[in-house]
């Protein structure tokens, strides 16, 4: 193993346990790229071989040649698949189910994988703040069409802020998530709707029990590179989209404390904060989905 694993990652990759179905980050991911071993970074699967089996875990009908090893499972019934480089547990392989022409399904735990997207100039970015960035990322990263998510800090005055300084409340930064998305698959409006539907946008002093400036609700709009998206979005800028959604919420009777700010320097957070809930095997404590739109 070349990567320090969290207790949950260790329980799956080393202890051969299984994450709960329909909870993994990559169950519905359809972006172009490759899936690597979380433990040693070996390339295991291409996105072109991923398919929707509706089983609750990422499914692939073919591995990269020589990337995985198939061994009898300890239960004596199934075939286990492990990383050929580090022997980390991935999941199980099944044959004869007829999902694809290859008639094979590699049922893999998301937590055993690291997705490496194939980036494109057409992709756009958006930055959202809705309290603790662990919970914001948990929901935003799962939207089909989101290519990459990065937790970090924006809106403050200190250069190179870190978690401790931001939590001190004196840097002016908000805990944020920078979303890289494919506008041909998901609109900025859809991202904003998920943003509003997964936190208390009426709270003025933080989010849930997390009180302080760093936990405020905000959207940092950037209209400098959105011309391609605008052509398919009625020529609306990111700023106008978010303002129209806020107006819609207010007409529905909601109080909206969300700030609309111009793009600011984004500073990525420390590695231990990235994909926090996936790595811990838990779910957000102050972010919940509530259908509004």
Of the candidates 97, 8, 3, 91, which has an alpha carbon nearest to the alpha carbon of residue 42?
A: 3
CB atoms within 10 A of CB 122: 10
Cα–Cα distance measured from residue 147 to residue 33, given in angstroms and rounded to the nearest whole number: 9
147-170 exposure pattern, b = at least 16 Cβ within 10 A, e = fewer: bbbbbbbbbbeeeebebebbbeee
Residues 6+ positions from 203 with CB-CB distance below 8 Å:
217, 257
Spatial distance between the Cα atoms of 282 and 237, rounded to a whole number of angstroms = 36
Question: Could you say which of 83, 107, 176, 192 is catalytic?
Answer: 107
Residue 132 falls in the annotated catalytic set: yes
Q: Is 271 exposed, middle or buried (0-12, 13-18, 19+ CB in 10 A)?
A: exposed
Give the separation between CA 68 and CA 62, rounded to whole angstroms.
Answer: 10
CA distances from 282 to 11, 138, 204, 259 (A): 13, 10, 27, 29
Closest C-alpha among 155, 163, 113 to residue 133: 163
Q: Look up 107 and say whether it is catalytic.
A: yes
End-to-end CA distance of the chain: 45
Catalytic residue among 132, 176, 192, 286: 132
Strand partners, 79: 72, 93
Q: In whole angstroms, how large is the CA radius of gyration of the chain?
A: 20
Residues annotated as part of the active site = 107, 132
């Amino acid at each position: 193993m070349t990567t320090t694993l969290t207790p949950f990652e260790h329980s799956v990759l080393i202890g051969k346990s299984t994450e709960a179905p329909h909870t993994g980050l990559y169950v519905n991911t359809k972006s172009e790229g490759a899936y690597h071993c979380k433990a040693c970074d070996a390339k295991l699967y291409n996105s072109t071989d991923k398919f929707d089996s509706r089983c609750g875990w990422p499914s692939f009908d073919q591995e990269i040649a020589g990337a995985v090893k198939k061994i009898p499972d300890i239960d004596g019934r199934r075939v286990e698949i492990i990383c050929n480089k580090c022997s980390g547990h991935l999941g199980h392989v099944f044959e004869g189910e007829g999902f694809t022409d290859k008639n094979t399904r590699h049922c893999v735990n998301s937590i055993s994988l690291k997705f490496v997207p194939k980036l494109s100039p057409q992709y756009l970015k958006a930055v959202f703040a809705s309290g603790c960035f662990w919970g914001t990322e948990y929901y935003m990263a799962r939207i089909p069409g989101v290519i990459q998510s990065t937790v970090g800090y924006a809106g403050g005055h200190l250069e190179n802020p870190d978690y401790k300084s931001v939590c001190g409340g004196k840097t002016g930064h908000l805990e944020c998530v920078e979303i890289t998305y494919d506008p041909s698959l998901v609109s900025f409006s859809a991202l904003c709707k998920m943003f509003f539907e997964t936190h208390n946008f009426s709270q003025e002093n933080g989010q849930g029990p997390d009180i302080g400036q760093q936990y405020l609700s905000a959207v940092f709009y950037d209209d400098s590179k959105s011309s391609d998206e605008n052509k398919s979005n009625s020529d609306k800028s990111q700023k106008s989209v978010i303002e129209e959604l806020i107006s819609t919420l207010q007409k529905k009777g909601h109080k909206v404390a969300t700030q609309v700010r111009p793009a600011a320097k984004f500073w990525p957070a420390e590695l231990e904060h990235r994909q926090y809930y996936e790595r811990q095997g838990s779910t957000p404590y102050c972010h919940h989905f509530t259908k509004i739109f």
